[in-house]
Amino acid sequence: MENFWQTCSAQLELELTPQQFSAWIKPLVPLDYENGKLRIAAPNRFKLDWVKSQFASRITALASQYWEAPTEVQFVLDPRTNPARKVSPPTVNGGIGGGTGNSVDAPAVHVADVRTVESPASAAPSTANDFANARGREQSRINTDLTFDSFVTGKANQLARAAAIQVANNPGVSYNPLFFYGGVGLGKTHLIHAIGNQVMADQPGARIRYIHAEQYVRDVVTAYQRKGFDDFKHYYHSLDMLLIDDIQFFGGKSRTQEEFFYAFEALIAAKKQIIITSDTYPKEITGMDDRLISRFDSGLTVAIEPPELEMRVAILLKKAKSEGVTLSDDVAFFVAKHLRSNVRELEGALRKILAYSRFHGKDISIDIVKEALKDLLSVQNRQISVENIQKTVADFFNIKVADMYSKRRPANIARPRQIAMYLAKELTQKSLPEIGELFGGRDHTTVLHAVRKIAQDRTKNPECNHELHVLEQTLKG
Ligand SMILES: Nc1ncnc2c1ncn2[C@@H]1O[C@H](COP(=O)(O)OP(=O)(O)OP(=O)(O)O)[C@@H](O)[C@H]1O
């Protein structure tokens, strides 16, 4: 059973984001396996319900595959962390998300769960004492692996890294807040942990806190339930540095935004550093209060772009080296040429290659890579993704990928965006509404307009036709 759990965890780690993996899968403990029934313990009811709804079918499939027989997976509360205890009763109407003036922003999917669980924000300090004691490295939630040393620099992120170093050297002084934005898996989280690590090393007593925006929302919910806003405020307002990740999750959550606004004002006034990440630039975050948007933009806002080829190669070589493996340049180039979207994808591919070569006892060569990444490469070859189209078109017209999702309309951005929409319709199976969604939540009629306009231009304008031809060839590889 232990072996199964290792295999299953390794697989899920590949499939999920690091945050998802460490929040949901890591805390699970396999208990026993008997007569085709596997029991897995979760640390609390909140996690149990969430894991059951989100991951049960995947874990069941992996278990059935492993034991080569249909397996029933049962999730139970971990008896060690849950001696029969009283759970506070659900609040009645008017509680979380009740639509009253007092409502608070439960994370959309968790509303029912959050009400009944003692500590939904299991990673968050939950009592006055915990808040008061939230000191030091452990409480800061800084990941010590994510440092400037392990961060590879290239054109795509050199500005962001320079700003990060500047802020790490002069927290609260140079740029406040510092705001990083960019697509998934491009190193935003890594970079803010790197700042945290450096400041922690320079000032060991500093009260630093890294928090994912979803967790902050849950902290607000918990504070609301326990009438603990004084502790909450005291904790967040007295930090020396707040690193808040993926702030787009605050969109539409007005109570969270209000609390964050107070924390923001208090910290900035006290010259305490705030660093924020988001998948898009401040003005583009949907459902965000204008006062917050203007404050986000009041320090320095820097983009992190998808890594270029040389940087992808450097990342692969460095990551392999840290695993004690030397990759040949040929192999690194091969992988980097085929996988272009983000660093997380590169890491996943490298893990697969290393596992494959260890398992088969063979040295890593291009043939081994082709075998190990068979599924990934065939998907890449067969399917052109909208993400890929956006990146290729942005590169071609020398604009930022983020402009593909942005609401900005200058012609030098609007036209490439229309071309990307046209290509998305031509080269993928996506519907107009799906494409609109992938271009920053635009309406399908906007996509339709773009598709028609570019199709028409193509017939009339040879230069446009040529551009599209080049782009199509590039995308088809
Ligand atoms: N420039 C880089 N050098 C080395 N590793 C990197 C770099 N950029 C990203 N990574 C690694 O890639 C993985 C994904 O990066 P990270 O989690 O920081 O992305 P992100 O931009 O925060 O994405 P998301 O918005 O999905 O959370 C991490 O393991 C990180 O260490």
Distance CA 225, CA 124 (A): 14
> The domain that contains 436 carries what CATH number?
1.10.1750.10
Whether residue 211 has pLDDT greater than 50 = yes
Tell me whether residue 93 is in a domain: no
pLDDT band at residue 85 under the 50/70/90 scheme: very low
* Pocket lining: 184 vs ligand 1, CB cutoff 6 Å: yes
Q: Which atom of ligand 1 is nearest to the CA of 151?
A: 3
For residue 189, say whether it is annotated as part of any ligand binding site.
yes
What is the whole-number distance in angstroms between the Cα of residue 320 and the centre of ligand 1?
16
The span from the CA of 49 to the CA of 33, in Å, is 21
For the Cβ of 151 lying below 6 angstroms from any atom of ligand 1, the answer is: yes
Residue 124 has pLDDT above 60, yes or no: no
Residue where a domain terminates, one of 373, 407, 427: 373
Task: Give me the percent of the chain exceeding a pLDDT of 70.
Answer: 86
DSSP tag of 328: P
Average pLDDT taken over every residue of the chain? 84
Tell how far the Cα of 189 is from the centroid of ligand 1, in angstroms.
6
Q: What is the pLDDT of residues 182-199, one digit of tens each?
A: 888 899 999 999 999 999
- Do 297 and 323 belong together in one domain? no
Pairing of strands 37-42, 29-34: antiparallel
**Residue 5 domain flag:** yes
The C-alpha atoms of residue 253 and residue 250 are separated, in whole angstroms, by 5
Q: Look up the CATH number of the domain holding residue 20.
A: 3.30.300.180
Of the two residues 241 and 411, the one the predictor is more confident about is: 241
pLDDT score recorded for residue 117: 25
Residue 115 CB–ligand 1 contact under 6 Å: no
Residues 5 and 49 both lie in one domain: yes
Is the residue at 157 inside a domain?
yes
Residue 475 pLDDT > 70: yes
297 and 254 in a common domain: yes
* 13-54 residue pLDDT tens: 887 777 778 888 988 999 998 888 999 999 887 778 888 888
ipTM of this complex: 0.98
271 is in an annotated binding site: no
The verdict on 145 and 185 lying in the same domain is yes
Residues 27 and 164 in one domain: no
Q: Which residue's CA is the closest to the ligand 1 atom numbered 14?
A: 185
Residues 313, 391 within the same domain: no
- 294 and 332 both lie in a single domain: no
Phi, psi at residue 106, to the nearest 5°? -70, 145
Atom of ligand 1 nearest to the CA of 154: 1
Give the predicted TM-score (pTM) of the model: 0.61
Query: Does 474 or 266 have the greater pLDDT score?
Result: 266
| Max CA distance (Å), the chain | 75
pLDDT for 35: 84
Ligand 1, atom 16, lies closest to the CA of 187
User: Cα dist. 208→201, 264, 298 in Å?
Assistant: 11, 14, 21
pLDDT at 414 over 70: yes
Are 343 and 207 in a shared domain? no
Q: At residue 94, does pLDDT exceed 70? A: no
Which residue's C-alpha comes closest to atom 24 of ligand 1? 184
153 and 245 part of one domain: yes
If one counts the domains in the chain, the total is 4
| Per-residue H/E/C for 266-303 | HHHHCCCEEEEEECCCHHHCCCCCHHHHHHHCCCEEEE
Please indicate, yes or no, whether residues 154 and 68 belong to a single structural domain of this protein: no
Q: Whose CA is nearest to atom 7 of ligand 1?
A: 187
CA of 345 to the centre of ligand 1 (A): 10
In whole angstroms, give the CA distance from residue 261 to residue 318.
40
pLDDT at 138: 56
Q: Ligand 1, atom 6: nearest CA belongs to which residue?
A: 187
Pocket test for ligand 1, best of 186, 215, 318, 341 (most atoms within 8 A of CB): 186
291-316 mean pLDDT: 93
Residue 337 marked in a binding site: no
- Look at residue 114 and tell me whether its pLDDT is greater than 60: no
For residue range 453-470, list pLDDT tens digits in order: 999 898 888 889 889 988
Question: Can you give the residue range of the structural domain that contains 415?
Answer: 384-474
Q: Is the pLDDT of residue 10 over 90?
A: no
Return the residue whose CA atom lies nearest to atom 25 of ligand 1. 184
pLDDT at 180: 96
**Residue 155 CA to ligand 1 centre (angstroms):** 15
Return the ligand 1 atom nearest residue 311 CA: 1
Q: Which atom of ligand 1 is nearest to the CA of 277?
A: 22
